[in-house]
């Protein structure tokens, strides 16, 4: 439902906008003007009623109309002589709304999700470009949406558009056959915030580090016999299909959430006649000793190393890559799992609360939008943990603030 609120001390009419019957039909048009026109644009004087049209002086109405038609939250809005559709049909069941001031003293309550999308689209028309190096409040919303679709590893969001955000956008663009440039431009944002946006999936023909890690794990399980090149070709597709069949998954050669979570878990079934293989993940030979202190020592030795999606060291890591590296360099031989996979190792004692954690325990988190385990780290004690942070772009020491406490799932005690 879209409603109107008047600021204190304001007259009911603003540029002819009346708060009487039928006003909700006009607010979509006002919202369009607020989002798409440069700051300081004034509506034409003498517009007694917006029921029939919205006059936008000094702009190309056809160009504005095309932009409006491309934004789902503004669907149905018409300019220059056309009627504005009733926005009540959009978002009427939304429970969470936020106020947006569209004219001095007049605010419009819109669904929060629609507001986030609208603000992002406005940044394309009137704000700075969303690209690497940019600092923009809209980046946090962008990261949140990418996390929801699993292109961005779960972490606290920031306003900075760094290399990790750029790479996540590139993954999204690759998955949707867009130009892969890492820039969250108009076409990318429209698709990202639409119902057509797909969850992160690795497809035949893709090239990247994520493909290489998939090949390495398939090789460890005996499905893939070739060299892990990072190119998803015919041999890799045959291996993925075989893996999916043996593990009771839908056989389509697409490595989506379900297939990835099985592949990078202790529950993955090896090929009927597995070929022994040692994962070639680039060990530096560093060893911090055994036991919990050895594990912590190895992890702390990586502080400051870069965050890179899918990396397992020795100079760059993602969150599960850091745990994998630290375990293997402290006397625990373990396969390359993802965060969800490490959380399922039943031979390690499960720790159900933050208060029961001990130094050296592995810790696991979900996100605000999903119950799926999507981040991991190593507990240091005193409410602190070491982890490879996607939002900060490196291995850092974090603290159990509100975000991590409410998203804590469990710990696993290896030693």
| Catalytic option among 175, 176, 329, 387 | 387
Residue 387 annotated as catalytic: yes
Q: Which residue has the tokens 């607020």?
A: 34
Q: Report helix, strand or coil for 220.
A: helix
Q: What is the DSSP string of 350-375?
A: EE-SGGG--TT-EEEEEETTEEEEEE
| Catalytic option among 15, 175, 176, 319 | 319
Residue of 89, 74, 81, 102 lying closest to 5 (CA atoms): 102
**Sheet of strand 384-389: strand arrangement:** 316-317, 306-307, 394-399, 384-389, 370-381, 362-367, 408-413, 349-351
List C-alpha distances in Å: 36 to 65, 67, 70.
10, 8, 12
Residue 175 annotated as catalytic: no
Q: What tokens does 271 get?
A: 């090929």
350 bridge partner residues: 412
The Cα–Cα gap between 336 and 323 comes to 9
| Catalytic option among 15, 175, 176, 375 | 375
Exposed/middle/buried for residue 8 (C-beta within 10 Å: 0-12, 13-18, 19+): exposed
Residue 319 annotated as catalytic: yes
**Catalytic residue numbers?**
319, 375, 387
């Amino acid at each position: 439902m879209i409603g109107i609120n008047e600021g204190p001390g304001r007259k009911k009419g603003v540029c002819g906008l009346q708060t009487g019957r039928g006003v909700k039909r006009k607010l979509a048009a006002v919202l369009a003007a607020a989002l798409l026109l440069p700051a300081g644009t004034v509506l034409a004087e003498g517009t007694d009623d917006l029921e029939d049209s919205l006059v936008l002086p000094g702009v190309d109405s056809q160009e504005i109309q095309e932009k409006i038609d491309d934004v789902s939250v503004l669907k149905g809005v018409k300019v220059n002589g056309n009627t504005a559709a009733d926005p009540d049909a959009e978002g009427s069941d939304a429970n969470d709304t936020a106020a947006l001031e569209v004219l001095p003293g007049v605010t419009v309550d819109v669904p929060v999700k629609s507001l986030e999308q609208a603000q992002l689209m406005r940044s394309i028309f009137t704000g700075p470009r969303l690209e690497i190096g940019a600092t923009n409040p809209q980046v946090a919303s962008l990261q949140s949406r990418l996390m929801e679709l699993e292109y961005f590893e779960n972490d606290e969001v920031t306003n900075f558009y760094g290399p990790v955000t750029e790479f996540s956008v590139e993954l999204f663009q690759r998955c949707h056959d867009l130009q892969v440039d890492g820039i969250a431009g108009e076409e990318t944002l429209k698709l990202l915030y639409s119902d057509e946006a797909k969850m992160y999936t690795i497809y035949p023909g893709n090239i990247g580090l994520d493909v290489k890690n998939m090949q390495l794990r398939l090789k460890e399980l005996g499905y893939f016999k070739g060299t892990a090149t990072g190119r998803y070709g015919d041999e890799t597709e045959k291996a993925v299909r075989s893996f999916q069949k043996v593990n009771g998954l839908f056989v389509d050669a697409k490595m989506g959430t379900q297939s990835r979570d099985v592949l990078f878990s202790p529950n993955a079934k090896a090929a009927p006649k597995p070929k022994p293989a040692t994962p070639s993940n680039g060990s530096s030979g560093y060893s911090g000793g055994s036991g919990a202190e050895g594990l912590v020592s190895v992890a702390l030795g990586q502080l400051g190393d870069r965050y890179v999606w899918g990396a397992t060291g020795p100079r760059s890591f993602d969150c599960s890559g850091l745990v994998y590296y630290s375990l293997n360099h402290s006397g625990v031989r373990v396969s390359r799992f993802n965060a969800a996979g490490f959380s399922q190792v039943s031979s390690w004692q499960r720790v159900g609360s933050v208060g029961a954690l001990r130094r050296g325990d592995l810790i696991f988190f979900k996100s605000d939008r999903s119950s799926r385990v999507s981040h991991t780290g190593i507990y240091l004690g005193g409410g602190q943990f070491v982890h490879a942070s996607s939002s900060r772009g490196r291995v850092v020491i974090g603290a159990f603030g509100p975000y991590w406490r409410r998203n804590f799932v469990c710990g696993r005690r290896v030693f």
